[in-house]
Structure 1
Amino acid sequence: MPIRLSIAMLLGALALAAVASGCRQSREAFADSALAPAAMGLPAHEAQATAARRVAGIGAARGEALPLPADFPDDVYLPPGYRIDSLMDRGNLRVVSLRAPGRVSSLFEAARSSMDERGWKQALAMREGGDSAMLSYEKADRTTVLSFSDAGDDRGAVAVSVQLRSGAL
């Protein structure tokens, strides 16, 4: 198995472990919801964004960059020049997948510095030879996992996943 694939699988397993480390009731509710998925509607921020695009005369095209939700916390690191590819809200979990210009190592260091300056406590840091890295932070009742990986394109982009678990979401 190529090392890149094994590291990606390890990062995914660690991210899943971090997300699943919440209380037992949350894990059971998540497992129950996975067995019987409920009908999903647009979250408020996406409905507002769609309405704003419609008013501005912009169509919602597949692959269009999404706006950051208005209620996204301002103390969570987001790289400069990012473009949001997808958003997911699931109970008290929000996942933002984005792309940003730069290199994994520089974004990893910038995220570490930014999160430390904003009062977050580092719980985990993992780096793999420049192709991928992961940071996990805690602050009050919130947990954030930042994953970085080479996007594999010729544009020098880094794929970044920001997972935020909070009692306030």
Structure 2
Amino acid sequence: MVAHVQQVLRDAGATGEVVHLADSARTAQEAAAVLGVEVGAIASSLVFEVEGNPVLVLTSGAHRVDTAKVAGLLGVPELRKATAAFVREHTGQAIGGVAPVGHPELIGTLVDITLARFPQVWAAAGHPHAVFPTTYDELLRITAGTAAEVDAG
């Protein structure tokens, strides 16, 4: 899966190369510690279910997604956290390593505007031991994402 994500990144003209980590980066805190960066510079890929369809929210590792706020942004009654099986079905990847790209089909994506504060952000690359550096603008471009305020703050 990591090789596929790297190829998708290359095909999209992304500038960062996948980095393989000795330690797990399943959580934003783990990733930040391993990489030596602020937790806010980790782009956590969270999959939610909206009326049977996936929605990907790339949020700053320093935030929790406000599901009511995001449901309002999407104009839907409810946003539910996806099950592990739902995540794997729609992304081909396991929770803790979901990349923002490389899924079987394009997933509607919201990108936390807070990530724009960091000159470099890190995202998972399809496995809990693989990440890649990118920028906020590049994340928007490679995911065809929409900038959004997704946190409760």
Whether TM exceeds 0.5 here: the answer is no
Q: Which has the larger radius of gyration?
A: 1
The structure, 1 or 2, with the larger RCO (C-alpha pairs under 8 Å, 6+ apart) is 2
